Amino acid sequence: MPSSPLDLAPVLPVVVLPDAADAVPLARALVAGGLPAIEVTLRTPAALDAIRAVTAEVPEAVVGAGTVLSRTQAAQACAAGAGFLVSPGWTEALLDAMAGSGVPFLPGVSTTSEVVALLERGVREMKFFPAQAAGGTAYLKALAGPLPQARFCPTGGIGPANAPEYLALPNVGCVGGTWMVPEDAVAARDWRRIEALAREAAGLRTAG
């Protein structure tokens, strides 16, 4: 199985793309800034075309699909070339679909019971969402004692100010966020700004 998105960079950009034509230059800017793993959320009609384009034209990027909510979406994302799958939560059916996809996946959790249930199924890598609202670093720190085998990508309410606190935790592989792909920069196609923000984000683990 390919590398886990938790191990590719300290920050996983969470991208919402209204226009698939922006996918390739955006991905190139993020990769140039040191963030090769990119989560394209399935929240827009352009998402699958965006994943397809980045897979075909930016080989140094590892593009995944986010906001995966169904077996159909998981299959569509993999057919488009997604290298990993991310969901905000999980059900047994969705977990089966992601586990059977052949690519790494991060099912979303926000409670201890969900974490234990996934560990019971052999899943050790998860998205912690919504991170800040669900207890933030204090919650993850508390989980590390009894459940050290679980690793997380916290997402939700994370930015450059608090990301280093998350990245310092032993059970956090990377954090997810949108701050390096602000809507106004994407709309203006300001790829230089996005590359600069990505570079700052890529240095957060050492900075923290």
Pinpoint the alpha helices (H) of 80-190. Answer: 92-99, 112-120, 136-144, 163-167, 183-187
Active site annotation includes 141: no
Active site annotation includes 39: yes
Q: What is the DSSP letter of 1?
A: -
Q: Catalytic residue, from 57, 120, 127, 183: name it.
A: 127
Taking a C-beta distance cutoff of 8 angstroms, is the pair 169, 124 a contact?
A: no
Coil, strand or helix at 201? helix
Q: What is the DSSP letter of 155?
A: B
Structure tokens at 142: 């508390």
Give a three-class secondary structure readout of 130-144: CCCCCCHHHHHHHHH
Structure tokens at 11: 């920050």
Q: Which residues are designated catalytic?
A: 39, 127
